[in-house]
A = this chain, B = another copy of it.
Amino acid sequence: MKNIEIDDDLYLHIVANTQSIGENASSILRRLLKLDQKASIDESLVQEITAVTSPDDIADNVMDLAEKSEIEALDNSTESVFNFINKEELAMQRGAVGRFLLILAALYRAHPQRFKVVTEICGRDRLYFANSEAELAASGSSTKPKQIPESPFWVLTNSNTTRKKMMLTRAATSLGYNDADVEKIRELL
Contact = CB atoms under 8 A, between A and B. Distances in A.
B10 A5 contact: no
Interface stretch (A22-30, A139-147, A161-169, A175-183): A22-30
B131 A49 contact: yes
A87 B89 CA distance: 13
A10 B4 CA distance: 11
Contacts of A29: 6, 10, 29
A187 interface: no
Given A33-B32, A50-B116, A6 B10 contact: no
B13 A7 contact: no
The residue among A3, A6, A40, A49 with the most chain B CB atoms within 10 A of its own CB is A6
Assembly stoichiometry (copies): 2
Interface residues of A, number: 53
A9 B94 contact: no
Nearest to A112: B53
Given A41-B120, A112-B53, A4 B3 contact: yes
Contacts of A109: 61
Contacts of A25: 4-6
Given A3-B3, A6-B2, A13 B26 contact: no
Given A1-B5, A2-B7, A6-B26, 9 more contacts: A4-B4, A4-B11, A9-B40, A35-B120, A39-B120, A45-B131, A46-B116, A53-B112, A57-B112
Interface of A: 1-14, 24-26, 29-30, 32-33, 35-36, 38-41, 45-46, 48-50, 52-53, 55, 57-58, 61, 74, 76, 89, 92, 94, 109, 112-113, 116, 119-120, 122, 131, 150, 152
9 contacts: A2-B7, A9-B41, A10-B33, A13-B35, A33-B33, A45-B131, A52-B152, A58-B76, A61-B109
